[in-house]
Structure 1
Amino acid sequence: MARHVVEDYLAALYVLTADRRPVISARLGEYLAVSPPTVAETLKRLQADGYIVFGPRREIILTPAGRAVGEAVVRRHCLIERWLTDLLGLDWVAAHEEADHLEHLLTPRLEERLFGLLGQPTTCPHGNPIPGRGRPLAWATVPLDRVPEGQEVVID
Structure 2
Amino acid sequence: MAGHWRRGTAGAVLALVMLPAAGCGDGSANSPTPAEQAASAASAAASLAARGGDALASASAEAGRRLDEAKGGVNAKDQVSLGAVAVGGDGRATATVTARNTASSAKSFAVQVNFTDGNGNLLDVVVLTVKNVAAHASGHGTARSNRRLHGEVRADVGTALRY
Bin for the TM-score computed over the shorter chain: under 0.3
User: Radius of gyration: which is bigger?
Assistant: 1
Higher strand fraction (1 or 2) = 2
Bigger relative contact order (CA 8 A; separation at least 6): 2
- Normalized against structure 2, the TM-score is what? 0.26
- Normalized against structure 1, the TM-score is what? 0.27
